[in-house]
Every structure is written in C-alpha cells, then in structure tokens.
A and B are shown apart, each in its own frame.
Chain A
Amino acid sequence: MTARAIVSILGGLGAVVLWQTLFVLNPDGPVIAGPVDVARWLTSNAGLVGRAAGTTLLAALWGFIWGNLAAILMAAFVVVLPRTERLVSFAALAVFCLPLVATGPILRVLFGAGAGPQITLAALAVYYTTYLTLVVGLRAVPQAWSDLVHLYGRGAQTELCAIRARASVPYLLAGLQIAAPAAILGAMVGEFTGAERGLGVLTLRAMRSLDVVATWGIASVAAAVSMLAYLAIGALSRLRGQGPPVLILSAGLQATRAPLWRRIVAVIGVTAALLLVWQVAMDVFGLPRFFAKRPGDVWSYLADPAARRTLLTALSETLIWTVPGYVAGLMLGAGLAAVLTLLPGAGGLVMPLAVTLRSVPIITTAPLLVLALGRGAAGTISIVAIMIFFPAFVACLHGLARTPGQVRDVFASYGAGRLRLLVSAQIPAMLPAFFASARMAVPAALLAVTTTEWLATGRGIGTLMALTASTSDYNMLWSAVVVVALVAVIAYLLVEAAERWVLSRYAAEQLR
C-alpha cells in the first residue's frame, strides 16, 4: 500500500471522526446525524438502499455507455474532419449547458415512466468531459507519428485508427474517470423527475419527511458509490500501465488570429445551425407542440413582457447567488493550492483526498449542505463554492506542480525563496489549469445553484423550472432552459476571453 493510499484512508477516517465529533458536540441540532446513527439506519434498511443503489447504478451505467460512445464518435469526427470542430464543440457545449433540472421533466414527458430520463441525463452529464479530454488526447500525437502515416500516402482515417486511437487511451481513461461519478449524478437527477425507484427517489422522500438520518445515510451511500466508481476507473488505468491519470480539463486554447468579425459570424452561424437542428428534430419525431416547444414558440413567448419579467427576475435571483459562489470557489481552490505549495510535501498529502472528494456529485451532498447551512444566501453560495472548490483546487495543485524543473533550478541557483518561486514561476505555470477549471466550473455552478433552488430554497430560476414543470407551463420551462443555456455559454465564452487575455500577457508560451 502506498503512502498516498494510507494518507487517503487516514483522511477518510479523520472525516468520519470529525463528523461524529460535530454530532457529539451538538446532539440535538436538527442538521447533523452522527455516523453511528447513519450506520444503524443503513443496516436496518440495507435491502431497500441496496435495491435503490442497484437501480441507480444500472441507469448510470447505461448513460455512461451511451454518453461516452457519443463523445468518442464526436471526438473522432472532429479529428478526421477538423473543419467541423467549431460547430461540433459549440453544439456540445450548448447541450452540456442545458440545465438538468429542466431537461429532466421534459425528458420525463417524452419518455414516460421507466429509466429513459435517468439514462439520458446520465449520458448528458458525461459526454462533454469525455469529448474534451478525448479531443486533446487524439491530437496529442507527435508530428513525426502523423508524418509516418502520411509518408505512405495514408490519410486521416488511418492515422486515427493506427496511431491516434491508441495514443489517446490514457486521456480517454482520464475522461471516463471524471465521467463515472457524473453519470451517477445524472441518473439521480433523472430519478428526481418522477421515477419509481433509485437513490434519487429515496433522497426526495427523506428530505420531504425531514428524516435527517435517512438523508445522511442515502447521501453517504451515493457519495461512496461515486467515489468507488471514480477509484475503480483509476485502478483500471494503473492496471493498463497508464500511470496516474493525466489532468486534462479542456481542449486547449488556440492562439486564434481570426478577426473578431469572423469569430462573431462563426458563433451566429453555429447558433443558427443548432436552432435548425432543434426545429427539425422536433418535426421529424412528430413531437406534440403542447410540450415539445420549437424555437419559434420560445421566441413568441419571450416577446411577452410579463413572461420576460418573470424569467429575468428569477434569473437575477439565481445569478446574485451564483457569481459570488463561483468566484469564492475558484479563489479558495487556487489560494489553498498556492498555500499548500509553500509547505513542503503538503500538496502531495492532501491531493489524494481532494481528488477523491472531487468525485462526489453535488446532488448527493446538496441536501445535507442545505440542512447544515440553511436555505438562504449563505447556504446556496456555499454549495456553489464547494462545487467549484474541489476541481479548481486539484487542477491548480497539478498546474503548480507542472513548473519545469530547469526553471526551479534557475530560481534555486539565485537563492530565491519559495514565495518568489511561487509568484514568478509557479503561478504562471498554473494559469492554464486554473482557467480550464474556471471554464468547466461555469456549467457546474449553474447546475449546483439550480439544483439547490429546486430542492431547497424556493427561489430563482431552478425553482421556476421546477414549478413550471409541475404545472405543465412548457412555454416558460423551455424559455428558461434556453435562457440558462445561453447564460452558461456566454459566461463560458467570457471566461475563455479572459483566459486568452491573461495568458497572452502573463504566460504567452501556454497559448498553442
């Protein structure tokens, strides 16, 4: 057993001890159930929880398979036909930014009873991270390997099959590792929308009956299952001799020199193409207009000032809590990573625990955090910050560690201290990882806030979507989906623009 594994186990045990201590210190508090009570509840409900976990895992597995298959096909497509990348990547981002809270009820209407929504939402939750990591992996091939294929008159397809596919396996496994807990998250959101069985159903029942012990018990099982899925794929990577999974959070930023007007035209073109696909898909499948709204329906509905006012009020309530949580999560993640770097060995010790905790889906912990922190601004902002914190922290630790050895040697040769090295060399080396996590954090933050609003706070666009779904107000529901996706895409592009600006000034060599 490695030192890191021992540290992880000790860290886990420490967390349980801390949990029990908090409970002992405040035994009558309404928000905390102790691990002993939780274990007792789980033992007496082992059959029920086991069956629910099996149902959720099965849906997650199917979603995992379908979502990743789609991601693999899309990544292969854009590598063979690079000109399609902008269209495919933008479409993938737009679909990924659709709020699961709203797509869940829509899918429930489309699929009816059964596991369809769970599987679809699990697939939607996983495909984007796998797509991004795989595109990076398929491209991360030395020029000479590509030359070898072209030297014999072979084209992009042979290059993909003979070279790129195999070379990208470590990246694929890294993507799958992140995807595994995400699939469980998607399946549980699907179960919230009216499923009959599963951990999501149990969570809803426990929350509605204010059964704190049951809520903690189910959350613990869901978190444990997610961590096990994450660790299992990590172990598979090591079995294949791939070493620790590479940290790939984005498809990389290209130093594009296309004029602004061309980029704007491209975005407009891709948006038009997406709207066309939406319209055609609805018509081809003959979905009833009552609930399957077309782009024109949403446009007409948003022309109504009252509808716009309702939507914008809810959106502003949401964003007021999202932005501080987003910024706080990023800053805390980057700040703690930087501080730990100043302490020798600390980063290496904390990393395994942080990586494992990162894999716990928000849906499993949101109910607990709401119970602990309340339904107001503090609770919501904290949930968003926690959701953002772990990926940002892990990414920044990796980024700080990537400072080239020769650069460290130069600083050491001049007797520079740790702080000087951190400020002048390590933070610039960390910037790409920081911005990559900042971009991926945009949809994650919106998912966290809308889920929390839906489950607990009773305000904001998450609640609006839940209410309109239950009252069959599909015009408002589809409009909310479009607006949230639009906000997410715009925020993502803004972060990307900030990334380009910062990197061009402070780490120009990081722009490819």
Chain B
Amino acid sequence: MTGRDVICTGLSKVFGGRPPVEALLPVDLTFRAGGTTALVGPSGCGKSTLLRLIAGLEVPTKGSVRIGGETPAELARRGGIGMAFQDASLLPWRSVRSNVALALRLARQRDDAGAVDRLVTLVGLDGFADARPAALSGGMRQRAAIARCLVTAPELVLLDEPFGAVDELTRARLGAELPPLWRERGTTAILVTHSVREAVTLSDRVIVLSRRPGRVVADIDVSGLGEADIGAGMEAVTHALLTLT
C-alpha cells in the first residue's frame, strides 16, 4: 500500500481552560506521499499536538487535515493510520504477538496470524512473541510498538518520539533498522523527535517549529544526504533551532 499526501490547511489548536493555551498557530503544510518528515522544536512547541491533530486524536480549533482527500477519521476507521507513542504503550496483560494483533482487531481487519508473526520477526523479536511487555527491555518494547503500528499496513505512519525512552546505542540501532520497514512500502511518515541527528538521518525533510504557540520557522530539505553531508544538514537544523533562543 502506498502513502498519501497529508495536507494541513490553516490548522490551529487552542486548549480550553483558564487561561486558554494556544498550542499551535495556523499552519499550512503538505507532507508528500511516501516521504518521511521530522518535526523538531523546543519542548511544548506543539509538535505532538500537530501529530495528534493529523491522527484525528485532537479536534482542530480551526483548519482541517485531509489525507489523500479523506479526513483522519475516515482513514482511521480502516486502519489507514499507524502511530507509535513515546512510551511504547503496550498492554501489559497481552503478549507481544497479542499486542500486535490487537491493532488488526481494532482496525476491523482479518486476524492474520502469519502477518503478525512476520512483523514480529522483522522487528527482531522472534523468540519473544509470547513474552509479556514486562519481560522486555525498553528497546524491545519499542520494536513491538513499531510492529503494532505497521501491522495494519497503514498509509500514514506517525511516530511521536518513538525512541525517546531508550539508551543512545539502542536508539541508533532502532533508527537504522526500523525506518526501512515503512520506507519499503512507500508509506508517508511523520516523526516527532528532539534529536537533530535522528531528524536528519531518518527523514528527507525537517520542519522546525517555534516556541509555543508553535509556528513553522524553517522547512529544510535533507533528502539524499550522503554521510559527508549529514553534518551540514544537522548544522542547518541546529542553526534554525538556535535562532529561537
């Protein structure tokens, strides 16, 4: 299944309360089908809010999101969106296999044990399919969460700091091994990260958001960078972030 364009038009979010919190100023963004885009910016700048708006988990205050012409809700109902959360969020009473299979059930898709096992193997958890999350390391839990995110063959993958809770070495390994899983399918991916290196190496475009309320301050093309150019890409992103201080 190939990815779809994600088009955000005048998308903004103000959280109610006293006083109201303006999380995201109106943004117009298009995420190209099959591309991987990283969202970076200071803590609380609205990166995760933007991701949740695209996923349909938050209702926009103004503006809209269209994914290949559909609303997030329409796409979500048939399992077209996969999302990996910062803390893996596996259900502790289910095994790895059962956690992955849960996504199929929620997406009203056929319970395909073969597909579940293939993905569990693909993310390097063969031998741990029947293990409960408590028996896994942080990195293994993130792998299971990525498998769950991909099992419905989504057209859009959203990753909210998926490697944020693991150590640097595991983070580097996951960053190298997992992105090909969605890239090979041509899936559109949007990644929230605090790591400039991760943003540059895992994606082909980096969007820098300002301090709250978030607005786009830089849109940097980092596609096709060779090993020698990664430093330059990181420098460009870092420079954009430094201008915020």
The verdict on A162 contacting B76 (CB below 8 Å), with A147-B57, A150-B56, A151-B57 known, is: no
Q: Is A152 an interface residue (CB 8 A)?
A: yes
Q: A47 an interface residue at 8 Å Cβ cutoff?
A: no
A147 touches B91 (CB 8 A): no
Q: Once bound together, how far apart are the Cα atoms of A386 and B76, in whole Å?
A: 56
Within 8 A of B (CB), among A446-464: none
Residues in A with CB closer than 8 Å to B87 are: 142, 144
Interface residues on A, range: 10 to 19
* Pairwise interchain contact A149-B106, C-beta atoms closer than 8 A: yes
Give the residue name and chain of the A residue nearest to B81 (CB).
Answer: A151
Q: Quick one: which of A144, A153, A163 contacts B85, CB cutoff 8 A? A: A144
B172 to chain A minimum Cβ distance, whole angstroms, is: 24
Q: Tell me if B118 is interfacial: C-beta within 8 Å of chain A.
A: no
With the chains together, A151 CA to B105 CA distance in Å? 12
Main secondary structure of the interface of A (DSSP, over half): helix
Q: How far is the CA of A16 from the CA of B1 in the complex (A)?
A: 74
Size of interface on B: residues with Cβ below 8 Å to A? 26
- Does A403 lie at the interface of the complex (its beta carbon under 8 Å from any beta carbon of B)? no
Contact B89–A154 (Cβ < 8 Å): no
Number of A-B contacts (CB under 8 A): 57
Using Cβ atoms and an 8 Å threshold, which residues of chain B touch A147?
52, 55, 57, 83, 85, 89
In the complex the two chains form, what is the Cα distance from A454 to B12 in whole Å? 65
Contacts A145-B91, A158-B106, A162-B102 given; indicate if A151 touches B73 (C-beta within 8 A): no
Within B23-65, the residues touching A (CB, 8 Å) are 52, 55-57
User: Are A152 and B106 also in contact (CB < 8 A) when A145-B91, A147-B85 are?
Assistant: yes
Which chain A positions have C-beta within 8 A of B85?
144, 147-148
Among A148, A149, A152, A163: residue with most chain B CB under 10 A: A152
Check: A257 CB closer than 8 A to any chain B CB: yes
- Kindly report which residue of chain B lies nearest to residue A145, judged by CB atoms: B89
| A166 within 8 A of partner (CB) | yes
Q: A257–B89 Cα gap in the complex (Å)?
A: 31
Per-position binary interface string of chain A over residues 235-247, scored 1 when its CB falls under 8 Å from any chain B CB and 0 otherwise:
0000000000000
Interchain CB contact (< 8 A) of A148 among B18, B52, B89, B108: B89
Give chain A residues whose Cβ lies under 8 Å from the Cβ of B93: 166-167
Q: Indicate if the CB atoms of B57 and A150 lie closer than 8 Å.
A: yes
Question: Once the chains bind, are A153 and B89 in contact (CB under 8 Å)?
Answer: no
* Cα–Cα, bound, A145→B90 (Å): 8
Contact A144 B56 (CB under 8 A): no
Q: Which positions 64-103 of chain B face chain A at CB distance < 8 Å?
A: 73, 76-79, 81-83, 85-87, 89, 91, 93, 102-103
Contact with B along A467-488 (1 / 0, CB 8 A): 0000000000000000000000
Does B115 touch A at the CB level, under 8 Å? no
A152 engages B18 (CB within 8 Å) = no
Question: Quick one: closest B residue to A154, CB to CB?
Answer: B106
Residue B107 at the chain A interface, CB threshold 8 Å: yes
Given A147-B57, A158-B106; A152-B89 close (CB under 8 Å)? no
Look across to chain B and name the residue whose beta carbon is closest to the beta carbon of A163.
B91
In the complex, per-residue mask of B143-180: 1 if CB is within 8 Å of any chain A CB, else 0: 00000000010000000000000000000000000000
CA distance A495 to B86 in the complex (A): 40
Q: How far is the CA of A150 from the CA of B103 in the complex (A)?
A: 11
Decide: A153 and B57 in contact? CB cutoff 8 A: no
CB distance from A148 to the nearest CB of B (A): 6
- Distance in Å from the Cβ of B57 to the closest Cβ of chain A? 5
**CB-CB contacts of B184-214 with A at 8 A, as 1s and 0s?**
0000000000000000000000000000000
Chain B, Cβ-Cβ closest to A257:
B18
Cα(A332)–Cα(B77), bound, Å = 56
Bound-state Cα–Cα, A158 to B56, Å: 17
Residues on A with C-beta less than 8 A from B91 are 145, 163, 166-167
Which of A148, A163, A167 lies at the interface centre, i.e. has the most chain B CB atoms within 10 A of its CB?
A148
Complex CA distance for A342 and B233, rounded to whole angstroms? 59
Contact mask for chain A residues 142-179; partner B; CB cutoff 8 A; 1 contact, 0 none: 10110111111110001000110011000000000000
Chain A nearest Cβ from B93, distance in angstroms: 6
Tell me which residues from 118 to 159 in chain B have a Cβ below 8 Å from any Cβ of chain A: 152
- Bound Cα distance A312, B102 (Å): 60
Contact between chains at B76 and A151 (CB < 8 Å): yes
CB distance A152 to B56 under 8 Å?
no
- Cα A309 to Cα B152 in complex, Å, equals 72
Residue interface mask A357-370, B partner, CB < 8 A = 1? 00000000000000
Q: Evaluate contact between B103 and A152: CB separation under 8 angstroms.
A: yes
Report chain A residues within 8 Å CB of B79.
152
User: Which residues on B sit within 8 Å (CB–CB) of A158?
Assistant: 106
B77 close to A151 (CB less than 8 A):
no
Residue in chain A with minimal CB distance to B105: A162
Q: Which of A142, A152, A163 contacts B76 (CB 8 A)?
A: A152
In the bound complex, residues from chain A placing their C-beta under 8 Å from that of B106 are 148-149, 151-152, 154, 158, 162
A257 to B78, CA, bound (A): 39
Q: Which B residue sits closest to A149, measured CB to CB?
A: B106
A69 vs B152: C-alpha distance when bound (angstroms): 37
A153-B102 in contact (CB<8A): no
CA distance A149 to B108 in the complex (A): 12
- What separation, in Å, do the CA atoms of A167 and B77 have in the docked complex? 24
A141 vs B106: C-alpha distance when bound (angstroms): 17
Complex CA gap A215/B91 in Å reads 51
Q: How many Å lie between the Cα of A147 and that of B54 in the bound state?
A: 13
B89 x A142 contact (CB < 8 A): yes
Q: Which residue of A lies closest to B17 (CB)?
A: A257
Known: A158-B106, A162-B102, A257-B18. A151 touches B55 (CB 8 A): yes
Shortest CB distance A393–B (Å): 32
Tell me, in angstroms, the Cα distance from A144 to B89 when the chains sit together.
6
User: Which residues in A have their C-beta under 8 angstroms from that of B81?
Assistant: 151-152
* Complex-state Cα separation, A152 to B149, whole angstroms: 11
Contact status A153-B73, CB under 8 Å: yes
Residues in chain B near residue A162, CB distance under 8 A = 102, 105-106
Q: Report the separation of the CA atoms of residues A386 and B52 in the bound assembly, to the nearest whole angstrom.
A: 52
22 contacts between A and B (CB under 8 A): A142-B87, A144-B86, A144-B89, A145-B89, A145-B91, A147-B52, A147-B57, A147-B83, A147-B89, A148-B85, A148-B89, A148-B102, A148-B106, A150-B56, A150-B57, A150-B76, A151-B82, A152-B103, A152-B108, A153-B73, A153-B77, A166-B93
Interface residues of A (CB under 8 A from B): 142, 144-145, 147-154, 158, 162-163, 166-167, 257
Known pairs A144-B89, A147-B57, A152-B76; list 13 more (Cβ under 8 Å): A147-B85, A147-B89, A148-B89, A148-B106, A150-B56, A150-B57, A151-B56, A151-B83, A152-B152, A154-B106, A162-B106, A167-B91, A257-B18
